[in-house]
A and B are shown apart, each in its own frame.
Chain A
Amino acid sequence: MTRYMLKRTIGAVIVMWAVATLVFFMLRIVPGDPIAAMLFDVGDPAAAEEIKEKLGLDKPMYVQYAKWFLLVLQGDLGNSIYGSNIQVNRLIAEAAPRTLSLATLSFIVATMIAIPAGLIAATRKNSNLDHGVTFFAFLGLSMPDFWLAILLIIVFAANLHWLPAIGYVPLSEGFWPWFSHLILPSIAVGTAFSAIVARMIRSAMLEVMKSDFMQVARSKGLRENTLIMIHAFPNALIPVVTVMGIAFALLMSGAVVVENVFSIKGLGRMLIQGILNRDYPVVQGTILIISAIFVFTNLLVDMVYTLIDPRIRYDK
């Protein structure tokens, strides 16, 4: 296992380097540059030259790349070049916990809805309950999450005053303030996700229930619950875990629209702002972090496989 982990980690680092490099050059190829963004396209050539020199953007691209890369190796993602010159590291340190909190809670909400819904739909195939779950799954899928977000705010924040409408409070200021601010966004983000996973669990379960070994298990006189939870569910989970892993990584890269509705300044929002401002260091830094999240979530998914499926043992 350790050798496998080492191999995978090296692979992960290479992927992150490739992504970061690609983004570095792509940003500079895309039309529009930070100077134009800062000067609002008013065209003062002298001012533009001055800024360019200050930011090192007058140097050849490979020099810029080498400088940036050396800093990254030292853990320094540079400073934002737009406005306040804040360190990108600091921006990420502020935004990442927000996104992590939202992603984790959304994931929990989604899983808590999806697993029972999927199991019920599969075990009572073609019953009214199954049709009901399917209906809500499609509703959840086709409902834009920002719309659900607004709806939730109107009902639970504006009318009932049960929960705060917007904002984010760090966990360090107490569990409830943190949690109460995240309930509504988590539901908004988690619902669509749960619909996908519930549908996947349903079809995977139906597939597994048809297997020979299920017939064997039934012939042993096992209880229905044992058949479903012990014999069928772990097998159905194998394909579902892949999708859940990808979805978690997607959630981590920011549920941008919902973050905006609830004005949670997470990674997604930071990235979009960075792109609009052509704020190279911010975009590069955020993407580096997001690619790291993707790569390591994948690694985590592979580890989870070994827990579910004894056929997968990586060191053989």
Chain B
Amino acid sequence: MTELLEIQDLAVEFVTPIGRVQAVNGISYSVAEGEVVAVVGESGSGKSVSAQATLGLIPQPPGKITSGKIRFRGENLLELDDEAIRQVRGQRVAMIFQEPMTSLNPVLSIGRQLTEAMRLHLGLSKAEADARGIELLSLVGIPDPDRRLVQYPHQFSGGMRQRVMIAMALACEPELIIADEPTTALDVTIQAQILELMKDLSARLGVALIIITHNLGVVARYAHRVNVMYAGRIVERGNADAIYGNPAHPYTVGLLNSVPRMDKPRGSPLEPIPGNPPDPANLAPGCAFAPRCRFATERCVQEVPDFVELADGHAAACFEIEAVRREAAE
């Protein structure tokens, strides 16, 4: 597989009244053509920030990208000027956001918002763009697309709006779509529909997909590869089967144990991760998860662990992988 997007050692910080906040602390991951990659983590883990950095959408100031490269087809997106990055946005890399209720402009029609990128990037006429807009709406499963095209966002439900957002992302046939918590704000029944739709379209149209989510359950079904983030760092990466079936990092184990699973007996207790995520303005020198970790040792508090390769592409940043594995085997 050819790598489409490669994020290398990306670090992003924000200058806030309480001091510098290291939101992303040297992360690396890649996405191949047509691949579905998940970035999983709690809120504040830096997963959205790393995605926004890809399209230069981090407001600077207060944000600042302090190191790293984001290569898209070999070209470092962080070095592009405003005009060049604008050409990438929407046309080659598109984004779907978390809040369908607030992500559409209330005063502009769906048609206008759906077609403006096509008219700008692809140079389509209004009639051509409208025709393609109707096509896209039916592609994402919106009934009666001719009538819907001239309506306004308030006439759409949350699920329908997220479908519109997907149609918007697909409009210019991008090579990569970044979906930032695309289903978090939706009803559970709608969540599955939207994810199925995205997975299906990604496979049919050959679009690579980065799904950013806090829900590890979502990931197992839809992603090829998974990156688990904690406090601005990736703590475990691997293909979905490995992460789900054979987790190595205590945080990943904790995440999996804190959601209900069909493969465990009914009534088996959920085990929440004790404590709270660390304050990103005030990170300790060692492993950020150490204060909440059952396996933590003296070393964990002082040193940041490096990745340990476990199998092909599966790696975890932890000193105590063997202890974690031993317990899992029991």
Q: With A219-B57, A310-B106, A310-B152 given, name 15 new contacts (CB 8 A).
A: A213-B106, A216-B97, A216-B165, A216-B168, A217-B113, A219-B90, A219-B95, A220-B168, A221-B87, A221-B89, A221-B91, A222-B120, A226-B120, A231-B108, A310-B154
Instruction: Say if the beta carbon of A7 comes within 8 Å of chain B.
Output: no
Partner of A216 from the list B88, B103, B152 (CB cut-off 8 Å) is: B103
Supposing A215-B97, A221-B86, A311-B152 touch, asked if A234 and B107 sit within 8 A by C-beta, the answer is: yes
B255: CB under 8 A from chain A? no
Given A212-B97, A213-B104, the answer on whether A218 and B89 have CB atoms closer than 8 Å is yes
The answer on a CB contact under 8 Å between A235 and B105 is yes
- Name the B residues within 8 Å of A308 (CB-CB): 107
At the interface, yes or no: A66 with Cβ under 8 Å from chain B?
no
Within 8 A of A (CB), among B80-113: 86-91, 94-95, 97, 99, 102-109, 113
Give the Cβ gap from A204 to chain B, nearest Cβ, in Å.
13
| Separation of A42 and B55 alpha carbons in the complex (Å) | 84
Interface 1/0s, chain A 207-239, versus B by CB < 8 A? 000011101111111110010001100110000
B87 / chain A contacts, CB cutoff of 8 Å: 221
A310 to B106 alpha-carbon distance, docked (Å): 8
Q: Are B121 and A221 in contact (CB under 8 A)?
A: yes
The docked-state distance in angstroms from the alpha carbon of A231 to that of B57 is 17
From known contacts A221-B117, A226-B116, A310-B154, infer whether A235 and B91 are also in contact, taking CB-CB under 8 Å: no
Contact (A222, B116) CB under 8 Å given A212-B102, A231-B105? yes
- Chain A: minimal CB distance from B51 (Å): 10
Are the CB atoms of A309 and B116 closer together than 8 Å? no
**Interface size class, chain A:** 20 to 34
| CA–CA, A234 and B152, complex, Å | 14
CB distance from B93 to the nearest CB of A (A): 9
List 12 A-B residue pairs with CB atoms under 8 Å apart, sorted by A's residue number.
A213-B105, A213-B106, A216-B97, A219-B97, A220-B116, A221-B90, A221-B121, A222-B116, A222-B117, A308-B107, A310-B106, A310-B109
Task: Tell me the complex Cα distance, A177–B184, Å.
Answer: 65
Q: A226-B116, A310-B152 are in contact. Are A219 and B107 (CB under 8 A)?
A: no
CA distance A311 to B106 in the complex (A): 7
B104 touches A216 (CB 8 A): yes
Contact A219 B89 (CB under 8 A): yes
Complex Cα distance, B153 from A310, in Å, reads: 9
Question: A219-B55, A220-B117 are contacts. A212–B108 as well, Cβ < 8 Å?
Answer: no
Residues in B whose Cβ lies below 8 Å from that of A223: 86, 120
Measured CA separation A220–B120 after assembly (Å): 10
Q: Once the chains bind, are B90 and A235 in contact (CB under 8 Å)? A: no
A interface: dominant SS: helix
Chain A residues near B91 (CB, 8 Å)? Answer: 221
Whether B95 and A212, one on each chain, are in contact in the complex, defined by CB atoms closer than 8 angstroms, is no
Q: Could you tell me the distance between the alpha carbons of A43 and B75 in the complex, rounded to whole angstroms?
A: 97
Contacts of B165 in A (CB 8 A): 216
The 10 closest A-B pairs by CB, nearest first: A221-B89, A221-B90, A220-B90, A212-B102, A219-B95, A310-B152, A220-B117, A213-B105, A234-B107, A216-B103
Q: Measured between C-beta atoms, what is the minimum distance from B180 to chain A in Å?
A: 10
Q: How far is the CA of A231 from the CA of B104 in the complex (A)?
A: 10
Give the residues in chain A near B90, CB-CB below 8 Å: 219-222
| Complex Cα–Cα for A216 and B102 (A) | 10
The interface residues of chain A lying within 8 Å CB-to-CB of B117 are 220-222
The reply to whether B94 and A309 contact each other, CB–CB distance below 8 Å, is: no
Give the residues in chain A near B107, CB-CB below 8 Å. Answer: 234-235, 308-310
Report chain B residues within 8 Å CB of A222. 86, 90, 116-117, 120
Chain B contacts for A234, CB-based, 8 A: 107-108
Contact of A309 among B89, B97, B106, B113 (CB under 8 A): B106
| Shortest distance from the beta carbon of B135 to any chain A beta carbon, whole Å | 18
Is A218 within 8 A of B102, CB to CB?
no
Chain A contacts for B109, CB-based, 8 A: 310
- Enumerate chain A residues within 8 angstroms of B104, measured Cβ to Cβ: 213, 216
Min distance, Cβ B239 to any Cβ of chain A, angstroms: 28
Give CA–CA (A234, B108) in the complex, Å.
Answer: 9
Give the distance to chain A from B161, nearest Cβ to Cβ, in Å: 11
Query: How long is the Cα–Cα vector from A106 to B113 in the complex, in angstroms?
Result: 36
Task: Verify A215–B57 contact, CB threshold 8 A.
Answer: yes
User: Would A311 and B102 count as touching, CB distance under 8 A?
Assistant: no
CB nearest to B100 among chain A residues: A212
B86 touches A219 (CB 8 A): no
Residues of chain B within 8 A (CB-CB) of A218 are 57, 89
Q: How distant is the Cα of A220 from the Cα of B57 in the complex, in angstroms?
A: 11
Are B120 and A221 in contact (CB-based, < 8 A)? Answer: yes
- A213–B98 Cα gap in the complex (Å)? 11
**Residue picked from A211, A230, A235, A310, most chain B C-beta under 10 Å:** A310
